[in-house]
Amino acid sequence: MVEKWLEQLRKNGYRLTEARQAVIQVIVKSNYALTPFQVYEAARAQYPALGLVSVYRTLEKLEELKLIRRVHQDCGCNAYLPQAEGHQHLIICQKCGLACYFEGDDLEDLFTKVGADHGYEVTGHWLQLFGTCAECEQK
């Protein structure tokens, strides 16, 4: 997956500095929704000279290329996750940020029906559930 991302970035004329690679290493395999500051702290372990501005810029670029997606957080702050293949829905733990993608074909029918009931043709949707993951539930 890292290789795929690096390839995409190179193709788009993006220079892969050490700082940017450190950011990519952190987010590419994350199962947790990470805020830019969390990415910054984790990536600094690999590249101590990293600046927060580089983190923001790299995340922006990754989002633009649809390699990561921005998720909604309770606090109103931005957090990011690697993008899933194809159309997926998301569930996120409100305590630790653990995220999980799921499909759910019956949902697609429901949304089409809701649209029809209101005189809309539904052409897309974003669905994100909040909850508490099994591990946080035990605490």
As measured in angstroms, the least distance from the Cβ of 114 to Zn ion is: 12
Cα–chain-centroid distance for residue 4? 16
Nearer to Zn ion, 9 or 93 (CB): 93
Binder among 28, 42, 71, 133 for Zn ion (CB under 5 A): 133
Nearer CB in complex with Zn ion: 62/98: 98
Q: In the window 29-58, what residues touch Zn ion (CB under 5 A)?
A: none
CB of 137 to Zn ion, least distance (A): 8
**Least gap, CB of 86 to Zn ion (angstroms):** 10
Q: How far is the CB of 3 from Zn ion (least distance, A)?
A: 29
Nearest in space to 102 (alpha carbons), one of 115, 89, 87, 86: 89
Nearer to Zn ion, 23 or 97 (CB): 97
Per-residue H/E/C for 68-131 = EEEECCCCCCCEEEECCCCCCEEEEECCCCEEEEECCHHHHHHHHHHHHHCCCCCCCCCCEEEE
Joined together, the tokens standing for residue 137 give: 């539930």
Query: Between 3 and 121, whose beta carbon lies closer to Zn ion?
Result: 121
Q: Which residue has the tokens 């009931």?
A: 117
Site for Zn ion in 91-110 (CB under 5 A): 93, 95-96, 98
Instruction: Give just the sign of the alpha carbon dihedral 43, 45, 46, 48.
Output: positive
> Where does this chain bind Zn ion (CB under 5 A)?
93, 95-96, 98, 133, 136
